[in-house]
């Protein structure tokens, strides 16, 4: 059974006349009769009573007509919904980000996006790792730290940034133009837990340079870290993004040298995944935020 055959069948039901239905459809009457015959043979029942030049629906014909109307209503509904998606009047968008300042950075763009596209339902998920959710097709895309070493992903770089040694202005290191990782780690450090990607980067660099350290306080709460640093309870090593999002008083920021701590942040999504209008629009908003507009 084909959609075209149902269109032909419905036209006959409306006209109750094969020739008039054929004219309405723009096909020949023999072609129309052949298609209806094929449909009746497939269903193994007659759909019309043929009495001379007059026709009437059989009981089976009435059943098929009701279902046919439902089918075409569903098709029309699908077309309308797809058109709404195309114009972003409706739809869903699920974004994954790493826990921490990257999540805060992305969430800061949600208000403008929602105001522009109020019909789009948005989920922003803060995750310790975005790779598995991306591979399980649970996310439209993710904002994460590169490298994401997997050939199944497309990647769009957003920005690169440095990490800074951050302390209260009374710190003995105040006034230095830069500090080494060894100097930084001699201070009491307040840091994210080991599951946090920022912590993992710092742990990796310290391990490479033989620097042993343990934080005096661990917390995943960004504002708590900043409050503790501002109170003089200890120092921290934080990204430029975080410090720009949460500027504080009575704090010093000193670049770290030998080695400098840097990271690249960007968008990752599955190569074979369809990029819908809403996804593309939010990606463009992200890239525009960092003056690196990409054609998606």
More confident position, 174 or 273: 174
The 3-state DSSP class for residue 249 equals coil
Domains of the chain as residue ranges with CATH: 3-86 (1.10.10.10), 91-158+264-289 (3.40.190.10), 161-262 (3.40.190.290)
Predicted TM-score (pTM) of the model is 0.69
Q: Let me know: does 294 contact 287? Beta carbons within 8 Å.
A: yes
User: So what's the pLDDT on residue 215?
Assistant: 96
How large is the average pLDDT for residues 34-47?
93
**What are the phi and psi torsion angles at 192 (to 5°)?**
-65, 160
For 266, other C-beta atoms within 10 Å of its C-beta total: 21
pLDDT for 203 beyond 60: yes
C-beta separation of 106 from 143 below 8 A:
yes
pLDDT in tens, 68-108: 988 988 887 777 777 767 677 788 899 999 988 899 999 99
Q: What is the pLDDT of residue 145?
A: 92
What mean pLDDT do residues 46-62 have? Answer: 89
Q: What is the pLDDT of residues 125-170, one digit of tens each?
A: 999 889 999 998 899 999 999 887 788 899 999 999 999 999 999 9
Residues in the chain: 296
Give Cα 92 to chain centroid, integer Å: 9
- The pLDDT score that the predictor gives to residue 219 is 95
Number of helices and strands in the chain (H, E):
12, 12
Give the DSSP H or E segment for 73.
helix 59-86
């Amino acid at each position: 059974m084909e959609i075209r055959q149902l269109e032909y069948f419905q036209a006959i039901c409306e006209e109750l006349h094969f020739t008039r239905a054929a004219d309405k459809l723009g096909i020949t009457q023999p072609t129309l009769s052949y298609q209806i015959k094929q449909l009746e043979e497939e269903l193994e029942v007659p759909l019309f009573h043929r009495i001379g030049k007059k026709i009437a629906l059989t009981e089976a014909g009435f059943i098929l007509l009701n279902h046919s109307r439902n089918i075409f209503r569903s098709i029309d509904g699908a077309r309308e919904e797809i058109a709404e998606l195309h114009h972003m009047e409706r739809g869903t968008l699920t974004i994954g980000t790493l826990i921490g300042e990257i999540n805060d950075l992305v969430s800061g763009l949600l208000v403008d996006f929602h105001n522009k596209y109020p019909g789009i339902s948005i989920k922003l998920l803060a995750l310790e790792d975005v790779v598995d959710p991306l591979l399980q097709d649970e996310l439209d895309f993710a904002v994460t730290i590169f490298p994401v070493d997997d050939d199944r992903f497309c990647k769009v770089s957003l920005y690169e940034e440095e990490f800074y040694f951050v302390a209260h202005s009374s710190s003995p290191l105040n006034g230095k133009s830069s500090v080494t990782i060894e100097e930084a780690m001699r201070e009491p450090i307040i840091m994210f837990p080991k599951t946090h990607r920022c912590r993992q980067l710092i742990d990796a660099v310290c391990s490479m340079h033989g620097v042993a350290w343990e934080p005096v306080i661990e917390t995943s709460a960004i504002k708590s870290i900043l409050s503790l640093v501002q109170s003089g309870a200890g120092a921290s090593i934080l990204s430029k993004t975080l410090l720009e999002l949460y500027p504080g008083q009575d704090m010093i920021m000193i670049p770290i040298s030998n080695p400098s701590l840097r990271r690249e942040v960007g968008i990752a999504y599955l190569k074979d995944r369809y990029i819908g209008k809403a996804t593309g629009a939010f990606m463009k908003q992200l890239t525009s935020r960092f003056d690196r507009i990409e054609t998606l």
